[in-house]
Structure 1
Amino acid sequence: MDIMIMVASYPPTINSAARLYSELSESLRDMGHNVTVITTQPGEDSKVDKEHEYYKSGSPKKNNGLNILRVSPLSFLSKIPGGKPLRFFFSCLLFTFRGLFTKCPDVILIYSPPLYMGISAHIISYLKKTRFVFNLQDIHPKVLFDTGAVKNRFLIRILSKMEKICYRNAHSFIVYSPGNRDYLLKQGVKQKIFTIPNWFDTKLISPSYQMNPFLNEKGIRNRFIVSYIGSMGTPQGLEIIINAANLLTMYDDIKFILAGEGPSKPILKSMINGMKLNNIVLLPMMLNERYAQFINAANVSLITLSSGVPIQTVPGKLSEIMACGKPLIAVVKEQGDAAAIIKQAECGFCVEPTNAKELSQIVLKLYRGKKLRKEIGKKAMIFAKQNFSRTICTKKYDEVLKNAGGNSDFYYDEAS
């Protein structure tokens, strides 16, 4: 089957969307499909892997049997006043034209956000007489409104209208959590909705019981490590970690280590310097084997979401942390989907996004409870292997795409 995939980020860009969809593309290729990926060139505002094949082979169109087509990221538009809406609009046009002048696929799969992917896919599928599957990863534009990223009423109306057009014209939907599924149902979506969690790569992410080189390099082998890895922006609300670390300065062997990039990183640095904290360290984002080493170096891992983020959001690194058998502390809303997974797996604790004191108390509880850490870490690993493996999840994508492309009568049995 010929599959067109549209995603804004793809390696060598480093983020969760790029990782997920590069792995998905490769898995679909291995299942016998012809896969074309339409994505952006690495932008100057993106974190990239300089060792990637992209830089060694001059942006090859063919990559491991995949057809990779790239458009400009239009990064320069974000630097001018009013440029972000222009970047959104022209990016939509670029993806649309790239798709229209590409071989007609049996089915199109899009990753959203950005929301304009849905508009591009709708136009392409309408003109080429094919279907598209909408993979909703973050609820845009709702999350933009809730976090205050978009306040202009005109833009809110435009984005809300675009959202309705996307939802009305998709053949089917893939979401990663029950909360996202419920959101679509409340929006009046009548099409099939499939709940498929985001996965981890079993070849890269697994518990490691060997000597961890990361610990030696950073001189923290005999410390109790509380770690965070990922984006550092407003939606993550990482300030609570700094405040919790400030409450634990009397414990010399507790070390908070945060790795990642994002607009909040300078703010976090300023907070650390202002409080004169020496029990917390900020590091760059880790890649590939280093990423796995970083997670495995921790005694306890953190995931965080600010109070303005919709309760349906589940951080992608949740499954990877669980796969490494690490106890979790989730700074999330108690009624959210991330909290529900942790409660179901019995693999950690949840803290409200504004309660730094409670976060510090739970860190101490796990610091003092070696047996407790081992028990809930084991539960995390078992749950991840049973529910979040790449093989299981990508096979479900395959079945959904086959159905949308008219090549299968099979329906994954968690459809609405």
Structure 2
Amino acid sequence: MKILLYSMNFTPELVGIGKYSGEMAQWLHAKGHDVRVIASPPFFPHWAPFEGHSAWAYRKTVCDGITVWRAPTWVPARPRALARMAHLFSFMLSSMPLLFAQIRWRPDLVFVVEPPLFCAPTVLFFSRMLGIKSWLHIQDYEVDAAFGLGLVRGARVRRFALSVERWLLSRFSRVSTISAAMLDRAKDKGIDETRLVLLPNWVDVRSIYPHPAGASDTGEPVNAYRTMLGIPADAVVVLYAGSLGTKQGIELLADAARQLSTAGHIHFVLCGNGPSREALKTACANLDRVHFLDLQPAERLNELLGMADIHVLPQRADAADLVMPSKLGGMLASGKAVIVTAHEGTELSNVVAGRGLVVAPGDPDALSDAIARLAASRPQREAMGAAGRSFAETELDRNAILLRLEKELLRCLAD
């Protein structure tokens, strides 16, 4: 197959959409498919172009045998509502010439990743013009999320945006998304079930696996991160690792850490970058057992996740079932207990139930209580961690998911 991947985020971004788009392209290329990529300069989660990349110039590179075109994209230092929309729009405009430059190559299928949905009309026109297949993969329902999170307001604007979204989605050969609840939402938007594909974010269970968190049998620390941060081997580490953005409700972690500040054996480690990082550091300024780390290299991810006794994943209630946190797969694969903030019945709650604790979003008391309960019960933590690891092995394995994707791509071309 000749596949054109149209994804704003792409490797070398280590978290979020860029991580999955990069791994998918590399896997398909390794299986013998011809893959080309149109992307922006890497910028996430720092919201600044990576060193060696420019936000203002076109660039062509070859990465592990995959040709990647980078479209100049304005990257706001503070990605608020209007700035974020301008950011997405700038990529749409600058990437259009790169898309139409692929006419001579004539791919079999264009695989476009949302966000940004702004790129969908051009992809549909391009696909119809060449008589080829089009595939939309929804990582975030950005229209619903924009209104649900209060980034955009107005009943008339909402009705118009949703009607345009429905029209666009109905024109793609296939529409995929990352969770069962998000798939149901696509059905509610009028997408025929025969054109829907479940494509969850995966985890490499061979690279992420249970790793000792505390001390060895001799009492010596076995995790370099604990040693570096000065965390005792017998302490309970509560870890959040991921982007520090607006959808996470990340401020809840500072409240929980403050409430548990007298529990001398509980340490919080907050690892990541993003627009909420500085505010979070300010809120935790006087808390001795809260430690901050920048985003860590991919090759150290297993050791980082293995530092935890408890993973914590805050999520705002108004983002429920509009997004599915990609970091959850690594948490479960690490074999450690997980605490998430979600309402019962949401996809996030259903996945974590039995493999961790689910508490109400926006409730620091409930989160603090859940952390304290798990910190006091190592057997419960270990049982939940084992259940999470089993789920990751059976439901989230990267190779199994991408094999299913390959079959669906071939089926799409055959239709």
The reply to whether TM is greater than 0.5 is yes
SS of the equivalent of 2:272 reads: strand
SS of the equivalent of 1:108 reads: strand
SS of the equivalent of 2:263 reads: coil
- Once the two structures are superposed, the pairs formed by residues 7-18 of structure 1 within 5 Å of their partners are 7-18=7-18
SS of the equivalent of 2:410 reads: helix
- Specify which of 397, 400, 411 is matched with residue 392 of structure 1: 400
- Once the two structures are superposed, the pairs formed by residues 79-94 of structure 1 within 5 Å of their partners are 84-94=84-94
| Contact 1:312/1:336, CA 8 A, preserved across alignment | no
- Measure, in 2, the Cα distance between the counterparts of 1:13 and 1:59: 17
How far 1:59 moved relative to its partner?
Answer: 6.1
1:206 alignment partner in structure 2: 209
SS of the equivalent of 1:4 reads: strand
Give the AA of the match of 1:329. Answer: I
- Specify which of 229, 245, 268 is matched with residue 218 of structure 1: 229
RMSD: 2.6
- Specify which of 382, 405, 409 is matched with residue 413 of structure 2: 405
- Measure, in 1, the Cα distance between the counterparts of 2:81 and 2:377: 53
Cα deviations by residue, 1:298-350 (Å, 9 ceiling, x for unpaired): 0000111112213343211111111110100011222210111112xx21000
Cα deviations by residue, 1:112-139 (Å, 9 ceiling, x for unpaired): 1111132232121122211111111111
- Once the two structures are superposed, the pairs formed by residues 142-291 of structure 1 within 5 Å of their partners are 142-151=144-153, 156=158, 159-190=161-192, 191-209=194-212, 211-222=222-233, 223-273=235-285, 276-291=286-301
SS of the equivalent of 1:216 reads: helix
- Aligned CA distance change for structure 1 residues 370 and 180 (closer, same or farther; 3 Å): same
- For structure 1, the residue ranges without an aligned partner over 5 or more in a row are 410-416
| Contact 1:13/1:46, CA 8 A, preserved across alignment | no
1:68 alignment partner in structure 2: 68
- Aligned CA distance change for structure 1 residues 257 and 327 (closer, same or farther; 3 Å): same
Cα deviations by residue, 1:1-32 (Å, 9 ceiling, x for unpaired): 10011111112234311111111111111221
2:97 alignment partner in structure 1: 97
| Contact 1:77/1:87, CA 8 A, preserved across alignment | no
Give the AA of the match of 2:283. Answer: M
How far 1:359 moved relative to its partner?
Answer: 1.2
- Specify which of 348, 362, 366 is matched with residue 356 of structure 2: 348
| Contact 2:40/2:91, CA 8 A, preserved across alignment | no
- Aligned CA distance change for structure 1 residues 73 and 385 (closer, same or farther; 3 Å): same
- Once the two structures are superposed, the pairs formed by residues 258-337 of structure 1 within 5 Å of their partners are 258-273=270-285, 276-337=286-347
Of the structure 1 ranges 230-239 and 9-18, higher mean CA displacement relative to structure 2 is found in: 9-18
- Once the two structures are superposed, the pairs formed by residues 368-387 of structure 1 within 5 Å of their partners are 368-387=376-395
| Contact 1:204/1:288, CA 8 A, preserved across alignment | no
- Measure, in 2, the Cα distance between the counterparts of 1:381 and 1:284: 26
- Measure, in 1, the Cα distance between the counterparts of 2:355 and 2:236: 18
- Measure, in 2, the Cα distance between the counterparts of 1:60 and 1:89: 21
Cα deviations by residue, 1:35-55 (Å, 9 ceiling, x for unpaired): 0111112349636765x999x
Cα deviations by residue, 1:241-296 (Å, 9 ceiling, x for unpaired): 111111111111201111111111122122223xx322222221122123222111
How far 1:79 moved relative to its partner?
Answer: 8.9
How far 1:97 moved relative to its partner?
Answer: 2.4
SS of the equivalent of 2:202 reads: coil
| Contact 2:147/2:153, CA 8 A, preserved across alignment | yes
Of the structure 1 ranges 298-307 and 121-130, higher mean CA displacement relative to structure 2 is found in: 121-130
How far 1:82 moved relative to its partner?
Answer: 5.9
- Measure, in 2, the Cα distance between the counterparts of 1:241 and 1:78: 21
Of the structure 1 ranges 161-170 and 76-85, higher mean CA displacement relative to structure 2 is found in: 76-85
| Contact 2:269/2:291, CA 8 A, preserved across alignment | yes
Cα deviations by residue, 1:153-184 (Å, 9 ceiling, x for unpaired): 67545533441232121111111111111111
- Measure, in 1, the Cα distance between the counterparts of 2:261 and 2:28: 49
- Measure, in 1, the Cα distance between the counterparts of 2:370 and 2:78: 41
Give the AA of the match of 2:302. Answer: A
| Contact 2:180/2:347, CA 8 A, preserved across alignment | yes
SS of the equivalent of 1:135 reads: strand
1:30 alignment partner in structure 2: 30
TM-score by length of 2: 0.89
How far 1:94 moved relative to its partner?
Answer: 2.6
- Measure, in 1, the Cα distance between the counterparts of 2:4 and 2:19: 17
How far 1:101 moved relative to its partner?
Answer: 1.1
How far 1:71 moved relative to its partner?
Answer: 0.7
